[in-house]
Copies of this chain bind each other. A is one copy, B any other.
Amino acid sequence: MSENLKLSNQVCFPIYSLAKEVVGLYRPILQQLDLTYPQYLVMLILWEEGTQNVSEIGTKLHLDSGTLTPLLKRLEQKKLIERNRSAQDERIVQIELTADGQKMKTAATQVPEQILNSLNVTVEQLEALKTGIDNILNQIRK
């Protein structure tokens, strides 16, 4: 196999591995909030942008309803969100923070700092990595 062909394995596997490591870094930190990483991503969107449709959340996180529906039901069970059908269009389910969910935002402000610490790399390294990843994501998604 030529060197170029090997390269795809040598890049794709580290991408796959790094994502698992990153989720693993979040795990003990988010455990204090009783959240998983995908659940945290949903909460971030609600904290930043307020009430959202299921499909809006799905578009932003690139997750489909088969993933989101059970995930959102778990957040609902924890009393962090409410799921209500829109009166105007009954197909739409609005996802809204509860008071508990809103309150969690304060505790969650500590998460990024803890992650940055455990990543243990320079801001310059992170920014370079972000640029490289965004380039490839744009190529793949366009």
Interface residues of A (CB under 8 A from B): 1, 4-23, 25-26, 37, 41, 44, 62, 109, 112-113, 115-116, 118-121, 123, 125-130, 132-137, 139-141
Contact = CB atoms under 8 A, between A and B. Distances in A.
B130 A136 contact: no
B133 A121 contact: no
Question: Counting chain B CB atoms within 10 Å of each CB, which of A17, A116, A120 scores highest?
Answer: A17
A133 B129 contact: yes
Contact of A137 (B14, B115, B132): B14
A9 B137 contact: no
Contacts of A126: 7-8, 11
28 contacts: A1-B109, A1-B112, A4-B123, A5-B112, A5-B116, A7-B112, A7-B116, A7-B126, A8-B115, A8-B116, A8-B119, A9-B112, A11-B126, A12-B26, A15-B19, A17-B62, A18-B19, A18-B133, A19-B19, A21-B62, A21-B137, A21-B140, A119-B136, A120-B140, A121-B139, A125-B132, A125-B135, A129-B132
